[in-house]
Amino acid sequence: MYVVGVGRISISSVIEKIISRYDVNEMYVHIDPISLKVASDIAIEKVRRVYIETIDEILFRIMESPGKFIFLVSPKSADICSLFELMKKIVHISQRNENIKRGMVIFLATSKSIFYGIIDYVLKYDLPIHVPMDINSVASSGVELFVDGNKKVSIVVIEPEIIDMEIVGKEIDFKSMESNIVDRPITHGIRIGHGKLGVVGLGYILSVAMDVINESELNDRLTLYGLFRIDSSVREEIREILSKHKNILFLGCKKVVGDIVRSIAEDLIENGEIDWVPNITFAEDFFDNIETFGKQAIKYVLFNVLGLGEIDNSMNISAYSRIRLSLHKGVIDILDRFREELGHEVIALSPLYDRNIKSILSDMFEVLNHVLLGGKNYIILAHLCDLNLSIDMLKNLSEKFDGKMVIIAVSEYMTENLRKQLTKKISNSLQQSMLILSIDDGLEKILKKVKKRNKALVVL
């Protein structure tokens, strides 16, 4: 006998379980498409949802009153710096103030470059963060925060591979996680094996490496160090690993710890703490173009470094993970209709995605450049919240662009209230330069109106 929906784990279901188990009373959702998508899959009703338009707002929300919160945010590259300035403030205030909320700040990294960008800032700002290696470790970050009473705020950075993953036939065992936290002190990571080769991994790649090590029985040939928590003590940990092993392999963290590792190694040699030159290898150096490591890729690297024989590298398939929002049939039909009637070039603003759209640009600044320099007529497809986050840029676009342009604003995963609120805000800022229409007016009517005006924005 089975029950529909039970025994499934995804990032949303884990957050839902944390909310329910630890009586989290407020869920702050940054108004960006990915955070809204993750939040829309969280079905629990007892939590109060608060939509956060500007990230500064979160600071005031947390300080309002005691309680528990979860904050979901999916930053764009340009926002990471300001987010970390804010996180620094939050962590400092939480250390000094008893009467603020306790909670998790969950960064949803939509691509590896954003993930590395976040880790880079973590090391610069010296903020403690969790980097889960799988969906289970997201749960353990929640357990650690809400069961162990020492910390007020926990920052969790989730990689795209984990956001886009679902597991069926397994449940999260919160009880054993809770007893582990009570029984033994929290460590920065895990250590597996007892071999001479030191292998260091961070995040998702670690879970793939663990699978390979178990399946290939490499436990006595290498020691795997998994970093779960990153803060200033990471340097100490790397120092310790470099002092123990002559051969060290780093998995998937060249971009963030590459320079640090080399400088620590130099320091150790100069101070006479080690009498050898450590042989440091990065897994990324084995491939031309790799983002998401599969088992085969990890196996190839490990076997190569351990001298266990050649594994055919040509078998490896280059894959990567991106969190994108594929267009639904309804949106595609409307888009096709506009394309047919107007004949303009279509461009889309990420994370919206459709394989038939050739130009998918990453931010509004790129859209602005593309449109102003392109000199054609355009249909621009974007999520309503991304337009709202770049209203000034949108204004600029409508004032400076001489050609014809229709912006189609997708409002998927938004509540009706939020849709209305953002439409009103955009409408107030653009009313003189652009015709604002809603799909509720009817497609044919809209098409007639759009043909008469040079610039229009249609909210779906």
The residues binding other proteins (CB under 8 A) are 2, 4, 7-8, 161, 164-170, 207-208, 211, 289, 292, 294-297, 314-322, 326, 328-329, 355
Query: And the tokens for 316?
Result: 């490896």
State the nearest-atom distance from the C-beta of 92 to other proteins, in Å.
38
- The 10 Å Cβ neighbour count of residue 290 is 18
- Please give the Cα distance from 27 to 103 (Å, whole number): 9
Nearest to 359 by CA among 347, 370, 369: 347
- Please give the Cα distance from 160 to 13 (Å, whole number): 16
State the nearest-atom distance from the C-beta of 165 to other proteins, in Å.
5
Name which of 326 and 428 has its Cβ closer to other proteins. Answer: 326
Evaluate whether 52 touches 31 at the Cβ level (below 8 Å). yes
State the nearest-atom distance from the C-beta of 264 to other proteins, in Å.
31
Give the distance from CA 48 to its chain's centroid: 23
Evaluate whether 350 touches 324 at the Cβ level (below 8 Å). yes
- The 10 Å Cβ neighbour count of residue 137 is 25
- Please give the Cα distance from 248 to 302 (Å, whole number): 11
Name which of 59 and 167 has its Cβ closer to other proteins. Answer: 167
Specify which residues 282 forms β-bridges with: 250
Name which of 7 and 343 has its Cβ closer to other proteins. Answer: 7
For residue 403, the 8-state DSSP code is S
- Please give the Cα distance from 71 to 106 (Å, whole number): 6
State the nearest-atom distance from the C-beta of 9 to other proteins, in Å.
9
Reduce the DSSP state of residue 407 to 3 states and report it: strand
- Please give the Cα distance from 269 to 353 (Å, whole number): 50
Question: H/E element holding 393?
Answer: helix 391-400
Nearest to 378 by CA among 397, 350, 396: 397
Name which of 10 and 388 has its Cβ closer to other proteins. Answer: 10
